[in-house]
Amino acid sequence: MIELTSIRSRARDSLEHRLFGNVWITLLICTLAYTVIVGLPTSLSGTVTRFSPVVGGLIGVPLGLVGMVISGPLSYGITRIYHKVALGNKRIDFVDLFCGFKEELGETFLLGFLRSLFIGLWSLLFIIPGIVMSYAYSMAFFIQQESKEKNWRVCLDESKELTRGYKGKLFLLDLSFIGWFIVGALCFGVGLLWVDVYHTMARAHFYEELKRIKAMEYREVKSESTEGNADEPVFEETGTPSDPFAPADTEKKEEE
């Protein structure tokens, strides 16, 4: 059972309970840089379009493509930063924000693009399915940055499996931050930056808790499976089990 109070408590521990401490401020700067870089192509296109629709139309498509290409690798990088802190590594390296371009450019791009595409397509079905799938795919970048050899499809599938039965709990975790976001908005909007860091760190700890629970469930199933197979044919010295479906002539030769 996932205790949301415990998840939030662990997030505060990772942030050292200091709003202006080194960890919280450094994560805030990384998150702000991520947001600015990802949104820059769209903002630039919109600004140019207001002054010159023709020029804006010409550069809109290339800038849009740039935005799509960089979104996945940067999401991979910012996930790496938060996950390392959640695991206890307080030494934050700003360069990690761009590690996706070096390690998994193709796969991180595909994961970012196709995850957004699939959620968008599901959202066409009265929005709610899109929200459900956004939670189902929410752990994909955590999975990918931990196992670099996994491709985008494996990451999405494993995220769906990892969140099976816990999407509602993750939704409640997000819901529990509404008060914090309201307070942050009242602080001239600037407070939202601090709240976003807190919220993202809580999600990183939620991922770790999901892994722990799923590992326990797997061990329980494996244990039950082992107990259930206690009466099955044992392995012989050759390392192969006796085959009850062996051909009749083979069995006769063995008897002779």
Q: What is the pLDDT of residues 133-171, one digit of tens each?
A: 999 999 999 999 887 677 999 999 999 999 999 999 999
Q: Give Cβ neighbours of residue 248 (< 8 Å, ≥ 6 apart).
A: none
Quote the pLDDT of residue 245. Answer: 33
With a pLDDT cut of 90, the percent of the chain lying above it is: 66
Q: Fill in the DSSP letter of residue 234.
A: P
Quote the pLDDT of residue 145. Answer: 86
Instruction: Output phi, psi for 163, to 5 deg.
Output: -90, 0
Quote the pLDDT of residue 126. Answer: 81
Residue 247 has pLDDT above 60, yes or no: no
pTM: 0.84
Strands of the chain, DSSP E: none
Residue 223 has pLDDT above 90, yes or no: no
How far is residue 195 from each of residues 7, 27, 28, 205, measured CA to CA in Å? 15, 11, 9, 15
Q: Give Cβ neighbours of residue 11 (< 8 Å, ≥ 6 apart).
A: 86, 198, 201, 202, 204, 205
Distance CA 32, CA 58 (A): 28
